[in-house]
């Protein structure tokens, strides 16, 4: 998957799709990587509110937080995926066929919210390195609608 798929970037943060792999079964996992577009304090505060609205948990937890359906869901069609928070569109990103296959196979995507602009271009190894670096991140599972 191309690591540079761009999205609409409201409020100083953006997201992109990425393809990860489940540590237990090795099968593909659709990932939604959210990151700030700058180190601006206002953008980081909005990213905090976004993380709170989703109800994501810490990436160091024993298990992934399952985001309640009333909080968020994912849809995908025509090469574009949409993360819906409540009744509003929050983020839209391009996806490829492999990402869509993983979303449809599992019925969910892992959402990763990090606080580093370099996540905009990180591949799976880069996202995993970020998560294991001890840097701040929140994660959760969002179901496909």
Q: Phi/psi at 95 (nearest 5 deg)?
A: -140, 160
Q: Which of 4-8, 11-15, 104-108, 126-130 has the lowest mean pLDDT?
A: 4-8
The pLDDT tens digits for 68-127 are: 999 999 999 999 999 998 777 678 999 999 999 999 999 999 999 999 988 888 877 888
Q: Kindly tell me if the per-residue pLDDT of 3 is higher than 60.
A: no
The pLDDT tens digits for 58-77 are: 887 788 899 999 999 999 99
- What's the whole-model pTM score? 0.84
- Measured between alpha carbons, how far apart are the two ends of the chain, in Å? 23
Question: Are residues 109 and 121 in contact, defined by beta-carbon separation less than 8 angstroms?
Answer: no
User: What are the residues whose beta carbons fall under 8 Å from the beta carbon of 40, sequence distance 6 or more?
Assistant: 12
């Amino acid at each position: 998957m191309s690591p540079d798929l761009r999205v609409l970037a409201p409020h100083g943060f953006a997201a992109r799709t990425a393809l990860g792999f489940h540590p237990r079964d090795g099968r593909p996992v659709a990932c939604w990587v959210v990151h700030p577009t700058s180190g601006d304090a206002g953008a980081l505060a909005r990213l905090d509110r976004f993380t709170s609205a989703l109800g994501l948990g810490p990436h160091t937890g024993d298990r992934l937080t399952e985001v309640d359906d009333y909080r968020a869901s994912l849809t995908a069609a025509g090469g574009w995926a949409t993360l819906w928070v409540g009744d509003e569109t929050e983020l839209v990103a391009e996806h490829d066929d492999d990402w869509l296959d993983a979303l449809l196979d599992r019925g969910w995507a892992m959402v990763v919210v990090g606080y580093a602009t370099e996540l905009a271009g990180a591949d799976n190894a880069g996202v995993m390195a970020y998560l294991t670096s001890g840097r701040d991140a929140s994660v959760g599972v969002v179901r496909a609608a």
